[in-house]
Chains A and B, each alone.
Chain A
Amino acid sequence: MNNEIAQKALETALSCGASDCRVSLSESTQTSISYLNGEIEKLQESTSAALGIAIFTEGRYGVFSTNRMDPDELKPFLRRCIESCRLLEPDKCRTLPDPSLYYRGGKPDLGQCDPAFPTIPFSTKTGILEATDAEVDKSDPRLISTACDWDDFLRSDYTIDSAGLEVRSSSTFYSISCECTVRGHGDARPQNNWSEGSLFFDRLRRGCGRTAYERTVPMTEARKLSSGKYNIVLENTVSARAVFALIAALNGSALQQKNSFLLDSLGKRLFPENLHIADNPLIPGRTGSGYYDSEGVATCFRDIIKDGKVATYFLNTYFANKLGMPRTSEDAFAVCFPENSGIGQDGILRSTGRGILITGFNGGNSNPVTGDFSYGIEGWYFENGQRQFPVKEMNLTGNFLDIWNKNLFIGNDPIDFMQWQIPTLAFEGADISGI
């Protein structure tokens, strides 16, 4: 990584009149390979680099990026950036972080980067895709197509600022996915898919093709249920939907702009007493782990909801200044549930008894100010803890605060390679629109 480019950009910005400046250089290398029905269909290889520059000048602020890093082009670009900033109204809340909060290095490697990345042969990747494709039952006359994708990347970041910050990190990721399409009733061609991912090549699980096929075939018999109140179980592949809205509502931007259903919620018990949600970005080998955020501020374990009370807002330097509160973390990096019900999906289905296991969302959205939501869903109707038949083309409607207060179970089964470790979740009495 050519760190000198970033250092030169910082020097240039300061010499052109910036009061303060933060520069991030990002470089990435990636490969994407697509197979369709066992044959290669698409291949893309790319290497990319870009500079991100935050400029603070005379109380004014702007953020800029370019992938044109020749000094002859960079200097006039930075000069124009600073001139643009000077045309703004000052905002005294735009500052660099307190340098005492910076990550200063020296901690053990968090295991985010696979040293084997450059050594994985192309033929190994295509071999995995061919094996994935072969896992699908090609003798099934209903099968229309199998699409398998390989994606990998190596990304490196180097960030410095005029207050002495200097941090760097690298990460890798590999993923395989498979999507099957089968002939259903009439013209319908139900599809389903499965993905596996890993920071390290040698930990990448196989079996996507088989799982995708097994998830697709039953969907040919999917039907709609009558409208009504149903218990719902969110599979661990989709359960982050129930958490994302909470995290978004606790973000400084939403709070400061009064665009949040969790305004003035800090310290208040708005959730069930046993609910504990946290952010833990310091676990070695876990996707999303990192010692610092985009401003270079050190990360830490942080309770988000503890004993049912809101334990933190996510405030970067700007929004902390705006709200007159201490800076926390700019976002949730690795959300987890430190306490759970001690059972996985099967146990939760048994304990819930009857309801809908949601395995996929189809569109929908939520209102950030009220927490109201409405989403299209598909999955399985279950009774006595057993899947009965697949369901589709229905809507789940409610409010995030209401539904969390009807939480029945928190599973112990988050998917290991996901950045947010959200397990299977169960809720009581949700509004379902069907026939």
Chain B
Amino acid sequence: MDEQYFRLFGTGPSEAAKLLAQALSKGGDYADIFCEHTVNNELSLRDGEVNSVRSDIDFGIGIRVVKGDRTGYAFSESTAFADLMKAASAAAEIARGTGPAVTLPADCTPVDFINRYPMLSDWEQHPIDSRKGYLLMLRDLISQADSRVVNITGRIGDQQTRILFFNSLGQCYTDMRPMALMSAVTVMQEGSRMENFYASKSYRKGFEFLSEQLVRELADEVVKGCSRLFEAGRPPCGEMPVVMGAGSSGILLHEAIGHSFEADFNRKGVSIFSDRMGKVICNREINIVDDATLPCYRGSVNVDDEGVPGQKTYMVRNGILNSYLHDRISARHYGVEPTGNGRRESFRYMPIPRMRSTYMENGTASEDDLIRSVKKGIYVDNFANGQVQIGAGDFTFYVKSGYMIEDGRLTRPIKDTNIIGNGPEALAAITGVADNLIVDDSTWTCGKGQYCPVSCGMPSVLVGKLNVGGINE
């Protein structure tokens, strides 16, 4: 525990004990206090110059009370004890009782966890202009790489979030959560035709995140990605085999099954996987995990937002649905241990089950094997966004670019197509998994009423049949 955080938030163990007592005064089963101080900075490149900066400070304390499956929540942006007691009283109302039902522990014990994202160089020690050179390098690399470039925008963002947490189980922790990102957009023109391409990198790192290598990778990705689009057209439409390239294809897992495995949906019986625990749901060689422990990854968390240490959770093991992703409420509902998936966007939100870094473990095939096995289909490797209907299981993801597969070979590039499928059917239709797992390092952000940074990854896989949005030929 870093006791400087007590001063920052004006709240230490003794104040927390009083607030928790107030929060549980109407009979709640459980309460927690989530104190957050976030500083966010962003520097932008536009029209060839670094000429815009933004900084935001967000500070507040959220108090939650749980009674069975019910949750009461309130927050205060003030550290005045009277304001915090008022928030605790508001949250307490959910229990609707007349007196406390649990006894608070006398002391709080720090949660034991491994720091998965130690900062080597604190962002706060580096003034804004120390980032400028990297944006100018990005500009030069992109503009020199291709004469068709007509516009470049770039962005470097850094965020440091300090968390102080107490709960009624006698647990507490402090955590410093860094987040860094760099992104680039280029627009190119060839004759009258224009194309654009976006790429980004993001890690939980300090200033050491920025490097010449990072900038070169980003510049290379946007230039090559945009160039390819000039050769690309719309694919034919309809159902066909889809080979999903390694890395960002993990969006398939995130949308097709990840959300459906979040235990709040299953607890309410509204997920298509609600009755499938312990059953075979795909090829027995498939293992799918949701992992908080990948060093410095965007989706990693040392300890979740309700005091559960970060961990690696097998959602699917040997093709069998092994575990949902739990917060404390769903874990109690199912009589299992929480899996450390209780996350929230900020102190303004109550925690709910959220993914972290979701990926499929390696299989035994090669990507070439998968492509060779397809007579007519598509290969996809760059995505913009995805979505799922939890109950129906219908998911989609938008393909920014890929290729046609014809007679086992990649042929013409394709772009701008939405792919739609059904989660259980798509999972069962995975007929090949390659041995080239990549966990993607782009700025993936998941929306579920509130936003959370996540990561996703996958080795190349072959899905036997998905609906490809294209043109009727």
CA distance A228 to B470 in the complex (A): 10
Interface-facing stretch out of A57-65, A168-176, A338-346: A57-65
Given A62-B54, A397-B470, A433-B468, A376 and B350 touching (CB < 8 A)? Answer: no
CA distance A26 to B269 in the complex (A): 39
Check if A46 is an interface residue, CB within 8 A of chain B.
yes
Given A42-B71, A87-B127, A374-B416, A362 and B385 touching (CB < 8 A)? Answer: no
| Cross-chain contact of B59 among A67, A219, A367 (Cβ < 8 A) | A67
Tell me the nearest residue of chain A to B128, going by C-beta.
A84
A147: B residues at CB distance < 8 A: 268
Check if A363 sits within 8 Å of B57, measured CB to CB.
no
CA distance A431 to B424 in the complex (A): 27
1/0 per residue, CB under 8 A from A, across B299-329: the answer is 0000000000000000000000000000000
Check if B391 sits within 8 Å of A190, measured CB to CB.
yes
Check if B389 is an interface residue, CB within 8 A of chain A.
yes
Scoring A89, A431, A432 by chain B CB atoms within 10 A of each residue's CB, the highest score goes to: A89
Within 8 A of B (CB), among A29-82: 36, 39-46, 48-49, 60-68, 77, 80-81
Check if B261 is an interface residue, CB within 8 A of chain A.
no
Interface-facing stretch out of B203-211, B214-222, B355-363, B392-400: B392-400
Check if B73 is an interface residue, CB within 8 A of chain A.
yes
Within 8 A of B (CB), among A366-387: 366-370, 372-376, 378
The total number of A-B Cβ pairs within 8 Å is 251
Given A367-B416, A370-B416, A395-B469, A89 and B153 touching (CB < 8 A)? Answer: no
Chain A min CB distance to B424 (Å): 6
Check if A184 sits within 8 Å of B468, measured CB to CB.
no
Interface-facing stretch out of B109-117, B233-241, B402-410, B453-461: B233-241
CA distance A66 to B49 in the complex (A): 26
Chain A min CB distance to B463 (Å): 14
Within 8 A of A (CB), among B367-387: 384-387
Interface-facing stretch out of B11-19, B270-278, B435-443: B270-278
Check if B364 is an interface residue, CB within 8 A of chain A.
no
Question: Is the contact region of chain A dominated by helix, strand, or loop, or is it mixed?
Answer: strand
Given A189-B391, A365-B384, A434-B238, A46 and B74 touching (CB < 8 A)? Answer: yes
CA distance A64 to B40 in the complex (A): 10
Check if A144 is an interface residue, CB within 8 A of chain B.
yes
Check if A229 sits within 8 Å of B71, measured CB to CB.
no
Check if B187 is an interface residue, CB within 8 A of chain A.
yes
Chain B min CB distance to A58 (Å): 12
Question: Is the contact region of chain B dominated by helix, strand, or loop, or is it mixed?
Answer: strand
| Cross-chain contact of A189 among B127, B237, B274 (Cβ < 8 A) | B274
| Cross-chain contact of A43 among B50, B73, B421 (Cβ < 8 A) | B73
CA distance A25 to B195 in the complex (A): 39
CA distance A48 to B78 in the complex (A): 10
B71: A residues at CB distance < 8 A: 41-43
Check if B416 sits within 8 Å of A187, measured CB to CB.
no
A80: B residues at CB distance < 8 A: 55
| Cross-chain contact of B77 among A45, A67, A81, A369 (Cβ < 8 A) | A67
B337: A residues at CB distance < 8 A: none
| Cross-chain contact of B271 among A42, A62, A189, A395 (Cβ < 8 A) | A189
Check if A1 is an interface residue, CB within 8 A of chain B.
no
A366: B residues at CB distance < 8 A: 416
Chain A min CB distance to B48 (Å): 9
Given A36-B268, A370-B195, A431-B237, A64 and B59 touching (CB < 8 A)? Answer: no
Within 8 A of A (CB), among B41-60: 41, 46-47, 49-60
Interface size class of A (residues with CB under 8 A): 35 or more
1/0 per residue, CB under 8 A from B, across A105-123: the answer is 0000000000000000000
Chain B min CB distance to A45 (Å): 5
Check if B270 sits within 8 Å of A41, measured CB to CB.
no
Check if B49 sits within 8 Å of A89, measured CB to CB.
yes
B56: A residues at CB distance < 8 A: 64-66
Chain B min CB distance to A13 (Å): 13
CA distance A384 to B386 in the complex (A): 35
Check if B185 is an interface residue, CB within 8 A of chain A.
yes
Scoring B195, B196, B420 by chain A CB atoms within 10 A of each residue's CB, the highest score goes to: B420
CA distance A184 to B93 in the complex (A): 37
Chain B min CB distance to A334 (Å): 26
CA distance A42 to B350 in the complex (A): 9
Check if B187 sits within 8 Å of A87, measured CB to CB.
no
Check if B471 is an interface residue, CB within 8 A of chain A.
yes
Scoring A224, A373, A393, A432 by chain B CB atoms within 10 A of each residue's CB, the highest score goes to: A393
A89: B residues at CB distance < 8 A: 49-51
Check if A191 sits within 8 Å of B196, measured CB to CB.
no
CA distance A146 to B46 in the complex (A): 48
A41: B residues at CB distance < 8 A: 69-71
| Cross-chain contact of B422 among A36, A62, A84, A393 (Cβ < 8 A) | A393
Within 8 A of B (CB), among A211-265: 219, 222, 224, 227-229, 257-259, 263
Chain A min CB distance to B58 (Å): 6
Check if A396 is an interface residue, CB within 8 A of chain B.
yes
Check if A45 sits within 8 Å of B90, measured CB to CB.
yes
Check if B9 is an interface residue, CB within 8 A of chain A.
no
Check if B342 is an interface residue, CB within 8 A of chain A.
no
CA distance A375 to B396 in the complex (A): 9
Scoring B153, B396, B417 by chain A CB atoms within 10 A of each residue's CB, the highest score goes to: B396
Q: Which 7 A-B pairs have the closest CB atoms?
A: A395-B469, A363-B396, A363-B387, A433-B237, A189-B391, A374-B418, A374-B469
A and B contact pairs by CB, cutoff 8 A, 25 listed: A36-B268, A40-B70, A43-B71, A43-B94, A48-B348, A66-B57, A67-B60, A87-B129, A88-B49, A89-B49, A145-B268, A145-B270, A189-B272, A189-B392, A257-B46, A258-B189, A258-B194, A363-B398, A365-B398, A373-B416, A375-B469, A395-B420, A397-B234, A397-B418, A435-B238
Which B positions have Cβ atoms within 8 angstroms of A? 41, 46-47, 49-60, 69-75, 77, 90, 93-94, 127-129, 132, 150-151, 153, 185, 187, 189, 194-196, 234, 237-239, 255, 268-276, 348, 350, 384-387, 389-398, 415-422, 424, 467-472
Extra pairs beyond A224-B467, A376-B396 (6, CB < 8 Å) = A44-B72, A61-B52, A88-B51, A191-B390, A365-B385, A395-B418
